[in-house]
Amino acid sequence: MLKDDVSVVKTIDDAGSSRNGAVRDAWQAQVQRAPLRAGAVDKTISDHPLKPLYGPDDVAEIDPERDLGYPGQYPFTRGIHPTMYRGRLWTMRQFAGFGTATQTNARYKFLLSQGQTGLSVAFDMPALMGYDSDHPRALGEVGKCGVAIATLDDMHDLFRGIDLGSITTSMTINCTAPVALAMYLAAAEEQGVPAEKLGGTLQNDMLKEYIAQKEWIYPPEPSMRIITDMMAYCAKHVPKWNTISVSGYHIREAGSTAVQELAFTLADGFAYVEAGIEAGMNVDDFAPRLSFFFNAHSDFFEEIAKFRAARRIWARHMRGRYNATNPRSWALRFHTQTAGCSATAQQPENNIMRTAFQALAAVLGGTQSLHTNSLDEVLALPTEKNVQIALRTQQVIAYETGAANVIDPLGGSYFMEKLTAEMEEQAEDYFRRIDEFGGVIPAIHAGFFQREIADASYAYQREIESGERIIVGVNDFINEEEPQISLLKIDRAMEQDQVARVRAFRSGRDGAKVADALAALKRAAESEDNLMPHYLHCVKSKATLGEISEELVPVFGRYREPAFV
Amino acid sequence: MMRPIRILVAKAGLDGHDRGAKVIARALRDAGFEVIYTGLHQTPEQVVDAALQEDVDGIGLSVLSGAHMTLFPRLRQLLDEQGASDIVLFGGGTIPNEDVAPLIAAGVAAVFTPGTPLAAIVDFVRKECARRVEA
């Protein structure tokens, strides 16, 4: 045994000096003799093939100057800031919202008191789909998946006692995004904060709604017009606002692979750029305000490579294809959330570890902000205790692990660079296939993305079913007895309170003023006017979210998805 | 020869999470059942109409919005009112364990919580939804 070891050491020495590949051959010979353990996998969680070892040959084509560059410099593979986390840590931003605006306001104050550095609003399903809390279709859904917001009063209560001039707010809302932005602007105005000082992000990414998250009102074409109107309005009046957070998160949650998430999200991003240019804007006037939102799933290295590839692809296309000249148009900024779909209901405490590894991948991938999922989110909205553990996870990564000390610490790893390059190539293949459909919207109408994702998610599920893929606590290492954990309960009386609030709001306003404002919005929709000032006028005239959304259905139509399995 | 079991896979309410519904629909189809999928954002009334029109033996309802305590009982009530008590109602989604017993009491035949093997759902359908086929 000892003799063998000695001879190996000697071989390495020989080959190291002669570089004739003898060391590699010796290793390969050893590998061929060595048995593999049962269950050893040679692919990522996304079915991307892996080699057992990567070496210099794998990066022979990679030119460090051209393909990696330096942090803060084109093509931004290593990060978008020259100092990255040495200059400033990522923003710790926990997505939160439940019950009434007043209940969620209390949660925000708790999170801020615990060291959180930005707010992120989760709206309930009725608000996300354009229904007021008292609409028959809202029954049972009010305040469940997020906070119930139907009126300007609700928005005021949501941020009561929080200075909108000193905090940045992210709002995860899409088809009703213009209403949410209008309400936020009106609430800030009443606080005395001018629009040009407001910082924050609207998700406002309708393309991924048709692809994955499936919350919509109007068809894709009018939705794109609303979005370009908002881009133009914000470029002028709310210059620090991120108008779209182009989102891969939901694509991944719907079951896509990592490469699909990467490719579909960037394709959506390019579609917004093209829409802005077609609407007559200069690319450098709006592209710096586009941001991204990715998932951090469990395959550690694949996720880091995905983030690095995303930056490089965006930079190359923005400069080479769309002729952006402002480096800020080239730099892809992104938020990350750990993968909700990876969390398990079985042994839920294990989700703490999953979240920690996923969050570390996001940090090593250079994220600008991060939400860490709570252990109980697979079953319900998180309790205060579990949110605190999730936030502490980020703080441990930031202050204890050393992960924030060196920029892009995995840069130059044979494996990491090869994987990054492969993901870029595969994304480019998808871009070509999407182009063959005539772009993102025709591909949506053809069901291309929806089918790709459904196929990937079914394949993944079958691997779990067959035991080919182990999920700890679910199909192996099972506990027969599952202890109960205490969950956040949304009081059912809350829904009735909110319904009463909305009705009281409607009865306390000037009906003629509301009708005029809604009519003006509709006329604007029929013309080429920018819609955003009209949304703002509706909100200030006390029209509700549901009324504003419904007003435009006769003009824009209602989207119906072709249902297929 | 007996006709195959017919199942309606349904998404009611406002949430757009269709990953689970689509995986279940494919698994049931691969198991040899006839599967109809409602598409998203259906009201309970629309689901029941589709079930009657398609003459299904069972409805698998997927709810991930937290509205399960409203939607499942409403669907069961509408089915019973329409004389379709023999249609088996089952489902799943993000449903905490403590809500399972009340749902069963409200006439839901089975609730499959996250992590349930597909094979268990297929077995359930084969056993419980066959009665109507044989009748």
pLDDT tens digits, residue range A343-356?
999 999 999 999 99
Residue A541 above 90 pLDDT? yes
Inform me whether the C-beta atom of residue B123 falls under 8 Å from chain A C-beta atoms: no
Q: Which residue would you say has higher pLDDT here, A53 or A12? A: A53
Domain contains B27: yes
What distance in Å separates the CA atoms of residue A15 and residue A23, rounded to the nearest whole number? 5
pLDDT (tens digit, 9 = 90+) per residue, A207-221? 999 999 999 999 999
The pLDDT value recorded for residue A2 is 42
The pLDDT value recorded for residue A18 is 47
Q: Among candidates B113, B85, B88, which has minimal Cα distance to B100?
A: B113
Residue A17 above 70 pLDDT? no
Cβ–Cβ below 8 Å for B14 and A209: no
Domain contains B111: yes
Residues A132-155 have a mean pLDDT of: 96
Helix (H) or strand (E) holding A222: helix A220-237
Domain contains B113: yes
What's phi and psi for B91, nearest 5 deg?
180, -170
Helices A220-237 and A177-191: angle between axes, nearest 10 degrees: 20
Domain architecture of chain A: domains with CATH: 64-83+90-292+299-340+366-371+408-466 (3.20.20.240)
DSSP assignment of B32-74, as one string? T-EEEE--SSB-HHHHHHHHHHTT-SEEEEEE-SS-HHHHHHH
Q: Which residues of chain A are within 8 Å of residue B12 when distances are taken between CB atoms?
A: none
pLDDT (tens digit, 9 = 90+) per residue, A86-118? 999 999 988 999 999 999 999 999 999 998 878
Residues A531-555 have a mean pLDDT of: 98
How far is Cα of residue A339 from the mean position of the Cα atoms in its chain?
10
Q: Which amino acid is at A330?
A: W
3-state secondary structure of A49: strand
The pLDDT value recorded for residue A41 is 85
Q: Which residue would you say has higher pLDDT here, A18 or B89? A: B89
Residue A533 above 60 pLDDT? yes
Q: Which residue would you say has higher pLDDT here, A12 or A555? A: A555
Residues A118-130 have a mean pLDDT of: 95
The pLDDT value recorded for residue A36 is 86
What are the structure tokens assigned to B20, written together?
């689970």
Q: Which residues of chain B are within 8 Å of residue A144 when distances are taken between CB atoms?
A: 65-67
Q: Using pLDDT thresholds of 50, 70 and 90, give the confidence band for residue A10.
A: very low
The pLDDT value recorded for residue A1 is 38
> What mean pLDDT is reported for chain A?
94
For residue A172, list its beta bridge partners: A122
3-state secondary structure of B7: strand
CB nearest to A379's CB, from B18, B25, B94 = B94
The pLDDT value recorded for residue B50 is 97
What distance in Å separates the CA atoms of residue B97 and residue B101, rounded to the nearest whole number? 8
The pLDDT value recorded for residue A487 is 86
Residue A285 above 60 pLDDT? yes
In chain B, how long is the greatest CA-to-CA distance?
42
Residue A81 above 50 pLDDT? yes
DSSP assignment of A495-509, as one string? HHHHHHHHHHHHHTS
The pLDDT value recorded for residue B72 is 97
Cβ–Cβ below 8 Å for A565 and B70: no
Decide if A343 contacts A109 (C-beta within 8 A): no
Q: Which residues of chain A are within 8 Å of residue B46 when distances are taken between CB atoms?
A: none
Domain contains B90: yes
> What CATH number is given to the structural domain containing B65?
3.40.50.280
Q: Using pLDDT thresholds of 50, 70 and 90, give the confidence band for residue A228.
A: very high
Please report, rounded to a whole number, the percentage of residues in chain A having pLDDT higher than 90. Answer: 88
What distance in Å separates the CA atoms of residue B9 and residue B51, rounded to the nearest whole number? 10
The pLDDT value recorded for residue A309 is 98
Domain contains B1: no
Residue A4 above 70 pLDDT? no
Inform me whether the C-beta atom of residue B109 falls under 8 Å from chain A C-beta atoms: no
Decide if A299 contacts A341 (C-beta within 8 A): no
What distance in Å separates the CA atoms of residue A172 and residue A148, rounded to the nearest whole number? 13
Domain, as residue range, for B85? 6-134
What distance in Å separates the CA atoms of residue A28 and residue A38, rounded to the nearest whole number? 20
Please report, rounded to a whole number, the percentage of residues in chain A having pLDDT higher than 70. Answer: 96
What is the chain B residue with the closest CA to A131?
A: B14
Residues A153-166 have a mean pLDDT of: 96
pLDDT (tens digit, 9 = 90+) per residue, A381-416? 899 999 999 999 999 999 999 999 999 999 999 999
What distance in Å separates the CA atoms of residue A470 and residue A467, rounded to the nearest whole number? 6
Q: Using pLDDT thresholds of 50, 70 and 90, give the confidence band for residue B33.
A: very high
CA of A455 vs chain B CAs: smallest distance (Å)? 9
CA of B69 vs chain A CAs: smallest distance (Å)? 8
Q: Using pLDDT thresholds of 50, 70 and 90, give the confidence band for residue A20.
A: low
Residues B122-131 have a mean pLDDT of: 94
What distance in Å separates the CA atoms of residue A236 and residue A307, rounded to the nearest whole number? 30
Domain contains B96: yes
Helix (H) or strand (E) holding A3: helix A2-18
How many separate domains does chain B show? 1
CB nearest to A458's CB, from B26, B113, B117 = B26
The pLDDT value recorded for residue A19 is 59
Helix (H) or strand (E) holding B9: strand B6-11
Cβ–Cβ below 8 Å for B23 and A458: yes
Cβ–Cβ below 8 Å for A215 and B23: no
